[in-house]
């Protein structure tokens, strides 16, 4: 799989950079996800199954054409979740949740960040176009 970069949303948005490194398993993509939503900025290296990325792309195409339903993706360790819902006004509501556990000898820490934003349906176009790159 070649390097894939796509963005969901405009100024507030979520950027996926896949893969940033290769793993031994060809069905898993490890990459960086950057969340930038109204003052909330965080990034994390996460892994996604290729199947869940393809389901997200197929769902985005249906969501874009019908403006009904929802799509979602979670990282393999379930520390990242993105849900896109079609609203009755024709907008897309995107909800993002990211969490991380940090363990060390001195302390254990956990953080979680959540945010949502609304955008027009065109925010899904990059995701729809990237499907061919995921399958190759």
Q: Which fold has domain 4-135?
A: Transcriptional Co-activator pc4; Chain A (2.30.31)
Q: CA-CA distance, 32 to 95, in Å (whole number)? A: 18
Q: Do residues 8 and 14 make contact, with C-beta atoms less than 8 angstroms apart?
A: yes
State the pLDDT at residue 93: 94
Query: Has this prediction a pTM greater than 0.95?
Result: no
Per-residue pLDDT, 68: 92
DSSP letter (8 states) at residue 48 = E
pLDDT value at position 63? 94
- Burial class (CB within 10 angstroms; exposed 0-12, middle 13-18, buried 19+) of 94: buried
Q: Distance between CA atoms of 54 and 83, rounded to whole angstroms?
A: 15
Q: What is the pLDDT along the chain (136 residues), one digit of tens a residue?
A: 568 888 898 778 899 988 755 565 778 888 899 998 887 888 888 999 889 999 999 999 999 999 999 999 999 888 999 999 998 888 999 999 998 887 777 788 888 888 899 999 999 998 898 888 887 7
Cβ-count burial of 44 within 10 angstroms (0-12 exposed, 13-18 middle, 19+ buried)?
Answer: middle
| Domain residue spans of the chain | 4-135
| Confidence at residue 2, expressed as pLDDT on a 0 to 100 scale | 67
Q: How far apart are CA 87 and CA 123, in angstroms?
A: 14
| Residues 20, 56: Cα–Cα separation, whole Å | 19
């Amino acid at each position: 799989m070649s390097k894939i970069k796509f963005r969901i949303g405009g100024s507030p948005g979520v950027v996926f950079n896949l893969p940033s490194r290769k793993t031994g398993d060809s069905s898993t993509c490890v990459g960086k996800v950057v969340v930038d939503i109204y003052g909330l900025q965080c990034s994390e290296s996460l892994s996604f199954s290729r199947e869940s990325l393809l389901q997200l792309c197929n769902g985005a195409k249906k969501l874009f054409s019908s403006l009904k339903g929802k799509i979602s993706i979670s990282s393999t360790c379930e520390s990242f979740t993105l849900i896109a819902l079609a609203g009755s006004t024709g907008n897309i509501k995107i909800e993002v949740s990211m969490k991380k556990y940090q363990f060390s000898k001195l302390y254990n820490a956990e953080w979680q960040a959540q945010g949502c934003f609304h955008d027009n349906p065109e925010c899904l176009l990059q995701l729809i176009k990237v499907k061919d790159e995921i399958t190759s």
